Amino acid sequence: MAQMYFYYSAMNAGKSTTLLQSSFNYQERGMTPVIFTAALDDRFGVGKVSSRIGLQSDAHLFRQDTNLYQEIAALNEVEKRHCILVDECQFLSKEQVYQLTEVVDKLHIPVLCYGLRTDFLGELFEGSKYLLSWADKLVELKTICHCGRKANMVIRTDEHGVAITLSAELAGRTPKEHVDHFHRIIKDFFEELEFSFDHYSRTTWPGHVPVTQEFFET
């Protein structure tokens, strides 16, 4: 029986990575999933779902006026769709969440939604509010706060990285010294495990995305 799932978390918990892995799992079994993402999220290009580890896939866009039930029903008429995957689902409206429940109940297609639960003020997004109410299954994807504990909130930062500044201040370091400190710790840890590497860098290195994409595609 088809169900609707809501995978929620704070930032940087790997929501998009998990979505893309689910999509791959369906395709590997000869099935056809459909990915949707919010039109207003164009950080990695319009109509793209991208993860921080370099994975990427094309996606259909939803806007505030998109009727998701009608769109999915039309796609399903052309070719049988086995799963609907929705990224940035916190931006769904109440009506769109209801439309997705109709996809589950009338079209019998499972719907997997991935997104934030709350904003930086701790307030529920509209889409998340109704997904928490109507989804059949709720799954929390966990990640770590910059303080070292489990992350429960989304923090708002400026281009200078305020969160990094705060944790650096507590440690008595500048932000750059703070980042360098943990960079060295991780590098030393790998060396203690006798890992060898030709190039050790950070995700901010310009070559990170293409190298990671090539690795996972091959």
State pLDDT tens for residues 16-60: 888 888 888 998 999 999 999 888 765 555 667 767 667 777 788
How many Cα atoms occupy the beta-carbon half-sphere of 91 within 13 Å? 15
Give the total number of structural domains in the chain. Answer: 2
The CATH number of residue 29's host domain is 3.40.50.300
- pLDDT higher for 137 or 199? 137
Do 100 and 198 lie in one domain? The reply is: no
Q: Kindly state whether residue 154 falls inside one of the protein's structural domains.
A: no
Q: Kindly state whether residue 198 falls inside one of the protein's structural domains.
A: yes
Q: Is the pLDDT of residue 177 over 50?
A: yes
What's the pLDDT at 154? 62
Q: Kindly state whether residue 149 falls inside one of the protein's structural domains.
A: no
Answer whether 110's CB lies under 8 Å from 3's CB: yes
Q: Kindly state whether residue 82 falls inside one of the protein's structural domains.
A: yes
Separation of alpha carbons 193 and 76, rounded Å:
50
Q: Kindly state whether residue 152 falls inside one of the protein's structural domains.
A: no
Do 136 and 84 lie in one domain? The reply is: yes
Answer whether 132's CB lies under 8 Å from 4's CB: no
- Total number of residues shown for the chain: 218
Q: Which of 28, 79, 88, 95 is catalytic?
A: 88
Do 119 and 41 lie in one domain? The reply is: yes
Separation of alpha carbons 18 and 86, rounded Å:
11
Confidence of residue 66 (pLDDT cuts 50, 70, 90): very high
Q: What are phi and psi of 168, to 5 degrees?
A: -65, -40
Q: DSSP labels for 124-143?
A: BPHHHHHHHHH-SEEEEPP-
Told to judge if 140 belongs to the known catalytic residues of this protein, a careful annotator would answer no
Do 23 and 99 lie in one domain? The reply is: yes
What's the pLDDT at 158? 43
pTM of the model: 0.66
Q: Kindly state whether residue 99 falls inside one of the protein's structural domains.
A: yes
Q: What domain range includes position 121?
A: 4-140
Do 107 and 196 lie in one domain? The reply is: no
Instruction: Point out the domain boundary residue: 140, 172, 201.
Output: 140
Do 46 and 120 lie in one domain? The reply is: yes
Do 113 and 37 lie in one domain? The reply is: yes
Q: What is the pLDDT of residues 81-132, one digit of tens each?
A: 999 999 989 989 999 999 999 999 999 999 999 998 887 667 788 999 999 9
Q: Kindly state whether residue 107 falls inside one of the protein's structural domains.
A: yes
